[in-house]
Amino acid sequence: MIHTVGVADMTVSRQSSDILITHALGSCLGITVYDFKQNIGGLLHPMLPDSNFDQAKAQANPFMFVDSGLRLLLEKFYQAGSEKRNLIIRAAGGSSSKTDEEDDFFQIGRRNFISLRKFLWDEGLMLKSYDIGGYGSRTVTLEIDGGRMTIKYNGDVKYI
């Protein structure tokens, strides 16, 4: 079954026939977590870097922010008995809203990715791979059977 993950949302699955997908990743991130021992996968689609900037919004929807969203996503894995060393974490998105990033005043995409790396460093985790930046929109899928992550970007398809 295909599960579509909306903006500021998250899905976790352990059904091997499931595919998680999120569309229209611009400056937002598509963050996938996959436990290769238990074949559990999760996909998060946060919009903004840091829940400290707007705690009311973060309370209403933690998945809006990279840090609060990923904390909840990882909790699902820990509750399922996942060990950090078995988690594969990958990310895509973080595009600029301008063709020249220097013209992008807020650089939300870049901030999102830095925030992700800070969260992982504090949590004692590392990114396995990523496809970040540029200009344009990405679609990300995660297959629960095997954990393959696919990115469609500007007409190209890549696996990371």
Partner 1 sequence: MALNTLVVDDSSVMRSIIIKTLKLAGLSLGAVLEAGNGQEGLKLLEDNWVDLALVDIHMPVMDGEEMINRLRQNKEYHDLPVIIVSSESDSARIEMLQKTGATFMHKPFTPETLREAIIEVTGVSHEE
Partner 2 sequence: MKNRVEQALKAAGLKTFEETCYLYPVPELKEIQEMLPLEAAAEVKYRGDFTGRILIETRGGLFRAIAVNMLSSQDPTGEQKIDALGEMANIICGNVIPALGGVSQGYRIEAPKNIPLSEAQNNLLGEPLVWTVLNLNQGRADLKFYVDGYYPAPEKKT
Query: Which range of residues in 11-19, 68-76, 103-111, 121-129 is near partner 1 by CB under 8 A?
Result: 121-129
Binding partner 2 by CB under 8 A: which of 3, 71, 76, 111?
Answer: 111
H, E, C per residue of the chain: CEEECCCCEEEEECCCCCEEEEEEECCCEEEEEEECCCCEEEEEECCECCHHHCHHHHHHCHHHEHHHHHHHHHHHHHHCCCCHHHEEEEEEECCECCCCHHHCCCCHHHHHHHHHHHHHHHHCCCEEEEEECCECCEEEEEECCCCCEEEEECCEEEEC
Contacting partner 2 within 43-62 (CB under 8 A) = 49-50
Q: Does 106 bind partner 2 (CB under 8 A)?
A: yes
Q: Does 121 bind partner 1 (CB under 8 A)?
A: yes
Binding partner 2 by CB under 8 A: which of 11, 96, 115, 141?
Answer: 115
Instruction: Tell the smallest beta-carbon distance from residue 64 to partner 1 (Å).
Output: 26
Instruction: Tell the smallest beta-carbon distance from residue 114 to partner 2 (Å).
Output: 5
Q: Interface with partner 1 by CB under 8 A: which residues?
A: 36, 85, 117, 121, 124-127
Q: Interface with partner 2 by CB under 8 A: which residues?
A: 49-50, 105-107, 110-111, 114-115, 117-118, 121-122, 124
